[in-house]
Amino acid sequence: MENQNKLAFLWLLTVIGMILHFNYHIGGIFYGIDVVRPDADGKETTGVLIIRNVFYHLPMLFIVAILYLKSKWFKWKMFILSCVYALAHAAHLFGEFRHEAINPSQVSLLSVVFVIAVLLVIEHLKVVRSITAK
Protein backbone atom coordinates (compact mmCIF):
# COMPACT_ATOMS: atom_id res chain seq x y z
CA MET A 1 0.00 0.00 0.00
CA GLU A 2 1.34 3.44 -0.87
CA ASN A 3 2.68 5.22 2.21
CA GLN A 4 0.29 8.19 2.18
CA ASN A 5 -2.69 5.86 1.79
CA LYS A 6 -1.41 3.74 4.67
CA LEU A 7 -1.05 6.85 6.85
CA ALA A 8 -4.54 8.07 5.92
CA PHE A 9 -6.01 4.65 6.69
CA LEU A 10 -4.28 4.40 10.08
CA TRP A 11 -5.47 7.90 11.05
CA LEU A 12 -8.99 6.90 9.97
CA LEU A 13 -8.82 3.79 12.16
CA THR A 14 -7.90 5.94 15.18
CA VAL A 15 -10.95 8.13 14.54
CA ILE A 16 -13.19 5.08 14.23
CA GLY A 17 -11.67 3.68 17.43
CA MET A 18 -12.47 6.86 19.35
CA ILE A 19 -16.04 6.89 18.00
CA LEU A 20 -16.42 3.29 19.15
CA HIS A 21 -14.94 4.26 22.51
CA PHE A 22 -17.72 6.80 23.00
CA ASN A 23 -20.32 4.27 21.84
CA TYR A 24 -19.06 1.81 24.43
CA HIS A 25 -19.56 4.48 27.10
CA ILE A 26 -23.21 4.93 26.23
CA GLY A 27 -23.74 1.27 25.26
CA GLY A 28 -24.94 0.50 28.78
CA ILE A 29 -28.19 2.29 27.95
CA PHE A 30 -29.31 -0.85 26.11
CA TYR A 31 -28.92 -2.84 29.32
CA GLY A 32 -30.69 -0.36 31.56
CA ILE A 33 -27.55 1.21 33.01
CA ASP A 34 -27.83 4.86 33.96
CA VAL A 35 -25.02 6.60 32.10
CA VAL A 36 -25.92 10.14 33.13
CA ARG A 37 -23.19 11.96 35.02
CA PRO A 38 -24.26 13.19 38.46
CA ASP A 39 -23.52 16.83 37.61
CA ALA A 40 -25.03 16.73 34.09
CA ASP A 41 -27.20 19.69 33.16
CA GLY A 42 -27.97 18.84 29.52
CA LYS A 43 -25.26 21.12 28.12
CA GLU A 44 -22.10 19.88 26.46
CA THR A 45 -19.00 21.12 28.20
CA THR A 46 -16.09 22.90 26.56
CA GLY A 47 -13.98 19.85 27.39
CA VAL A 48 -16.23 17.65 25.24
CA LEU A 49 -15.90 20.07 22.34
CA ILE A 50 -12.11 20.07 22.71
CA ILE A 51 -11.95 16.26 22.86
CA ARG A 52 -14.15 15.91 19.77
CA ASN A 53 -12.06 18.42 17.86
CA VAL A 54 -8.76 16.82 18.88
CA PHE A 55 -9.69 13.15 18.43
CA TYR A 56 -12.34 13.26 15.68
CA HIS A 57 -12.16 16.44 13.61
CA LEU A 58 -8.43 17.20 13.48
CA PRO A 59 -7.44 13.66 12.44
CA MET A 60 -9.92 13.88 9.56
CA LEU A 61 -8.19 17.09 8.46
CA PHE A 62 -4.84 15.31 8.88
CA ILE A 63 -6.05 12.63 6.48
CA VAL A 64 -6.96 15.19 3.83
CA ALA A 65 -3.66 17.01 4.35
CA ILE A 66 -1.67 13.76 4.08
CA LEU A 67 -3.30 13.09 0.75
CA TYR A 68 -2.57 16.55 -0.66
CA LEU A 69 0.46 18.11 1.08
CA LYS A 70 3.95 16.93 0.22
CA SER A 71 6.30 19.40 1.93
CA LYS A 72 9.07 18.29 4.28
CA TRP A 73 7.91 20.55 7.13
CA PHE A 74 4.44 19.03 6.93
CA LYS A 75 5.82 15.48 7.06
CA TRP A 76 7.92 16.37 10.12
CA LYS A 77 4.94 18.03 11.77
CA MET A 78 2.79 14.93 11.19
CA PHE A 79 5.50 12.72 12.68
CA ILE A 80 5.58 14.89 15.81
CA LEU A 81 1.77 14.96 15.99
CA SER A 82 1.61 11.17 15.63
CA CYS A 83 3.96 10.88 18.63
CA VAL A 84 1.73 13.22 20.66
CA TYR A 85 -1.38 11.24 19.71
CA ALA A 86 0.31 7.94 20.58
CA LEU A 87 1.15 9.32 24.03
CA ALA A 88 -2.43 10.54 24.43
CA HIS A 89 -3.79 7.12 23.45
CA ALA A 90 -1.38 5.44 25.89
CA ALA A 91 -2.56 7.75 28.68
CA HIS A 92 -6.16 7.06 27.75
CA LEU A 93 -5.59 3.30 27.83
CA PHE A 94 -3.78 3.33 31.16
CA GLY A 95 -6.38 5.75 32.54
CA GLU A 96 -9.00 3.04 32.01
CA PHE A 97 -7.34 1.03 34.76
CA ARG A 98 -8.03 3.78 37.31
CA HIS A 99 -11.76 3.11 37.18
CA GLU A 100 -13.29 1.16 39.99
CA ALA A 101 -14.96 -1.25 37.57
CA ILE A 102 -12.67 -1.93 34.63
CA ASN A 103 -14.56 -2.35 31.37
CA PRO A 104 -12.93 -5.17 29.35
CA SER A 105 -14.50 -3.90 26.12
CA GLN A 106 -12.96 -0.46 26.61
CA VAL A 107 -9.58 -1.89 27.55
CA SER A 108 -9.45 -4.13 24.48
CA LEU A 109 -10.62 -1.35 22.15
CA LEU A 110 -8.21 1.22 23.60
CA SER A 111 -5.40 -1.36 23.36
CA VAL A 112 -6.14 -1.78 19.65
CA VAL A 113 -6.26 2.00 19.15
CA PHE A 114 -2.94 2.37 20.96
CA VAL A 115 -1.32 -0.29 18.75
CA ILE A 116 -2.66 1.55 15.69
CA ALA A 117 -1.23 4.80 17.08
CA VAL A 118 2.18 3.14 17.49
CA LEU A 119 1.99 1.87 13.91
CA LEU A 120 1.14 5.41 12.86
CA VAL A 121 4.29 6.70 14.55
CA ILE A 122 6.36 4.00 12.85
CA GLU A 123 4.93 4.84 9.43
CA HIS A 124 5.42 8.58 9.92
CA LEU A 125 9.00 7.86 11.05
CA LYS A 126 9.60 5.95 7.81
CA VAL A 127 8.43 9.01 5.87
CA VAL A 128 10.69 11.34 7.85
CA ARG A 129 13.67 9.00 7.41
CA SER A 130 13.05 8.83 3.67
CA ILE A 131 13.11 12.61 3.30
CA THR A 132 16.20 13.04 5.48
CA ALA A 133 18.05 10.34 3.54
CA LYS A 134 17.69 12.30 0.30
Q: Which tens digits make up the pLDDT trace of 69-118? A: 999 999 999 999 999 999 999 999 999 999 888 889 999 999 999 999 99
Report the pLDDT value the prediction gives residue 109, as an integer from 0 to 100: 96
Q: For 39-48, 55-64, 108-117, which range has the lowest pLDDT when averaged over its residues?
A: 39-48
Q: Which backbone phi and psi does 66 adopt, to 5 degrees?
A: -60, -35
Report the pLDDT value the prediction gives residue 35, as an integer from 0 to 100: 67
In 3-state terms, what secondary structure has residue 103?
coil
Distance CA 106, CA 23 (A): 10
Are 80 and 87 contacting, i.e. CB atoms less than 8 angstroms apart? no
Give me the mean pLDDT over the 16-42 stretch.
80
Task: Look at 63 and 41; give whichever has higher pLDDT.
Answer: 63
Report the pLDDT value the prediction gives residue 88, as an integer from 0 to 100: 97
Report the pLDDT value the prediction gives residue 123, as an integer from 0 to 100: 97
